[in-house]
Structure 1
Amino acid sequence: MKSKYVILASALLISVATFAQKDQIKSAEKALKGGDAQGAIAILKDAENLVVNAKDVEQAQYYFVKGNAYLELANKKVEESKNLSLAAESYKKLIDVEKASGKVKYSTQAAASITEIKGKLINSAIADSQATKHAEGAKKLYDAYLLDKNDTINLYYAASTAVNAQDFDLALPMYEELKKLNYSGKGTSYTAVNKISGNEDGFNSAKDRDLAVKLGTHEKPKTEAIPSKRGEIYKNLALILVQKGRSEDAKKAIADARKANPDDASLILTEANLYLESKDFETYKKLVGEALQKEPNNADLVFNLGVISANSKNNADAEKYYLKAIEINPNYANAYLNLAALKLEAEKPIIDEMNKLGTSAKDMKRYDVLKAQRENVFKGVIPYLKKANELDPKNEDVSKTLLGVYKALEMTAEAKALKATM
């Protein structure tokens, strides 16, 4: 008989606890309706330990009220980011409970609130970035991704924003996740100009965009290809790993990426840049050769080959590559500047020899020959320096070098005109 009384007492305790929990949820709802979201959360915390044993419908109601309370605080700008995340967490638990029970009461509203939270996180992240609070923005974009993992572009933007914040510890796991997903971001953009706002709006498909144009709300439809972002992703991943002293991991990451995406030329460039960073110029040149087979008109690649050749004191090859870069892109300012710098190197041995000469008739005759050679060097670089200055007028190195050449050649009028623009 004694054991029966114990069982009965336990049943009564459970019943009392259940009624108490119901009362707490109702009290929390009442506090929330009265505008006291903080009070509602405090009430719900008292019921937190009991909710795991509650009926499914009560668990769902508990998480629904809790999510609403956190969302209300976020809407009032009280620890906005933290409370948006806590609200989303509560709504997701609610959806899981109702999915498991097969009884749906709050899930539709919760899903709508999650979509609202996702939008708020993204908008808040954009505002953070505009205020140069990149780390905060990156975390919010990552939270937005966690709410909807199908929308992987938010993970990409979170990683990029973390790099802008120079927070590589934050960025690294994001890039590693993008690598695991083999994310490319490649696609097509469908846009049209909103007639009322004048802004360019994006659409999910050409059909949706064309319908808006047909209805008269939009104009100037545009379709653009969105290039793959894999090269950038793996480049940043590799650079972060190198910075952390994990060069071999960086090389492996790029090698894995190339195996998975053999036709992606941007990944060859990323691998090449990695070897350039580690000063393995031979491997770099080999990889650049591969990339040039795929992109023969890539001026940056050709220019970098010029830089490597110049660093290796192979001036003939350097000049060839700089001229080729200019041929591909006539407005490549750095190619003109480097070409001028390359040619100006011929001045040093001339000056060295001039300084060693004496005052004999023979030495004076040699001096005049060397002086003419030096002037020819200066005359030869003027076209390149003028073009570089035209393309990049704010570059002080270019303007100062050109000014020095004008003075050396006693081109007073040209020097005075250039100085007036500096």
Structure 2
Amino acid sequence: MKSKYVILASALLISVATFAQKDQIKSAEKALKSGDAQGAITILKDAESLVANAKEAEQAQYYFVQGNAFLDLANKKVEESKNLLAAANSYKKLIEVEKASGKQKYSTQAAESITNIKGLLINSAIADTQANKNAEGAKKLYEAYGLDKKDTINLYYAASTAVNSQDYDLALPMYEELKKINFSGKGTSYLATNKANGNDDNFANAKERDLAVKLGTHEKPKTEAVPSKRGEIYKNLALILVQKGRTEDAKQAIADARKANPEDTSLILTEANLYLETKDFEKYKQLVGEALQKDPNNADLVFNLGVISAGAKNNADAEKYYLKAIEINPNYTNAYLNLAALKLEAEKPIIDEMNKLGTSAKDMKRYDVLKAQREAVFKGVIPYLKKANELDPKNEDVSKTLIGVYSALEMTAEAKALKAKM
């Protein structure tokens, strides 16, 4: 008789606990509806230990109310990132519970809320980067990726933003994950100019873009190929590993990437850059030659070889590659710009020597020679700057540099005409 009594008492305790939990969920819902999201969370926290033994329908309702409460706090900018993630976590648990039960009451709403949370995290990350809070932005982008791992571009942006913050410990695991999933980012952009603001908007597909043009909100549709980002990814991964003293790991990472993507010529440049960083110039030259053999008429590839050569202070090779890129593509704006920048480097030692000269007859004679050399440098860059300005008239840096050159050469009319166009 005594044992039966104990069993009955236990059953009564479970029953009372269940009723108590239902009451707490209802109380939390009431608090949330009255605008007290924090109060709702506190009420639910008290019932947390009972959730595991509750019926699936009650578990789903519990997580639904909890998710809504966290989201309400986030929308009120109360620890926004923390509460967005807490809301998403509650909604995920809800979906798991209803999937196991086979009864879906809240799952559709929860899935929609997770999508909205992802968008809020991305927008918040953009605001962070605009405020130069790149580390915070990178974390939010990574969290957005965690909510939807099919949208791998957010992982790429998270890693890039972490690098911009110079937080390499934060960036490294992100790049390692990009390597693991063999992310490329290669694709197609469907663009059209927004008539309202003049900006180019990117559409998910050609159909959506063409519809916007047909409706009259956009014009000038164009389709652009988005190149592979693997070269950049492995370059950053390698540089971080080298910085941490893990040079062999860096070399292995790029070797693995090339093996998995033998047709991706950008990875040859990445490997060449690594050997340049580690001052293995023979290996660097070998890889440069290999890159050119694979794709000798790829203007981007040749241009990047110019950039790497310039970084190595090998200006003769850099000039050769920039000129080759222009030969392949006469409208390659950046090649003209880099050529001009390369030529203008010759001005600094001239100026340094001019500043050291005195007023003796010998010094004044040398000054005239140096002045002529400086003018020759300026005259030599004018064709490149003029072409860059012609190709990209909205680039103020190009216009200002060209105006500065005109002014130094006392080409007043040319400087005045260019200023009038700005």
Name the CA shift for 1:339/1:280 in 2 (closer, same or farther; >3 Å): farther
- Indicate yes or no: 2:197 matched with 1:193: no
Partner of 1:240: 240
- Indicate yes or no: 2:329 matched with 1:325: no
Partner of 1:37: 37
- Which segments of 5 or more consecutive residues in structure 2 lack a partner in the other structure? 327-334, 354-361, 386-397, 417-422
Conservation of the 8 A alpha-carbon contact between 1:322 and 1:339: no
Q: How far apart, in 1, do the equivalents of 2:127 and 2:24 lie? A: 38
**What do the CA deviations read for 1:51-90 (whole angstroms, capped 9, x no partner)?**
0000000000000000000000011110111100100000
TM-score after normalising by structure 1:
0.79
Q: How far apart, in 2, do the equivalents of 1:179 and 1:388 lie? A: 41
- Indicate yes or no: 2:301 matched with 1:301: no
For 2:376, the aligned partner's letter is P
Name the CA shift for 1:238/1:3 in 2 (closer, same or farther; >3 Å): same
Q: CA deviation at 1:202?
A: 2.5
Partner of 1:121: 121
Q: How far apart, in 1, do the equivalents of 2:310 and 2:222 lie? A: 38
Q: Aligned runs of 1:65-84 on 2, under 5 Å?
A: 65-84=65-84
Conservation of the 8 A alpha-carbon contact between 1:125 and 1:136: yes
Partner of 2:282: 282
- Which segments of 5 or more consecutive residues in structure 1 lack a partner in the other structure? 311-317, 348-366, 404-413
Question: How many residues are matched?
Answer: 372
Q: How far apart, in 2, do the equivalents of 1:135 and 1:325 lie? A: 35
Partner of 2:380: 387
Conservation of the 8 A alpha-carbon contact between 1:325 and 1:335: no
**What do the CA deviations read for 1:382-401 (whole angstroms, capped 9, x no partner)?**
53454347847978xx98xx
* Larger-gyration structure (1/2): 1
Conservation of the 8 A alpha-carbon contact between 1:285 and 1:305: no
Conservation of the 8 A alpha-carbon contact between 2:192 and 2:218: yes
Conservation of the 8 A alpha-carbon contact between 1:292 and 1:301: no
TM-score after normalising by structure 2:
0.79
For 1:175, the aligned partner's letter is Y
Q: CA deviation at 1:338?
A: 5.8
**What do the CA deviations read for 1:10-67 (whole angstroms, capped 9, x no partner)?**
1111111000000000000000001000000000000001100000000000000000
Q: CA deviation at 1:376?
A: 8.8
**What do the CA deviations read for 1:257-316 (whole angstroms, capped 9, x no partner)?**
000001111111111111101111011111111112234341341464477585xxxxxx
Q: Aligned runs of 1:196-345 on 2, under 5 Å?
A: 196=196, 198-296=198-296, 297=299, 298-302=302-306, 304-305=308-309, 319=316, 322-323=319-320, 325-326=322-323, 328-329=325-326, 331=336, 332-337=339-344
Conservation of the 8 A alpha-carbon contact between 1:303 and 1:335: no
Instruction: Show structure 1 runs of 4+ deviating over 6 A.
Output: 339-342, 374-381, 392-395
Partner of 1:363: none
Q: CA deviation at 1:116?
A: 1.0
Q: How far apart, in 2, do the equivalents of 1:199 and 1:306 lie? A: 33
**What do the CA deviations read for 1:75-123 (whole angstroms, capped 9, x no partner)?**
1110111100100000010001000110000001111111111111111
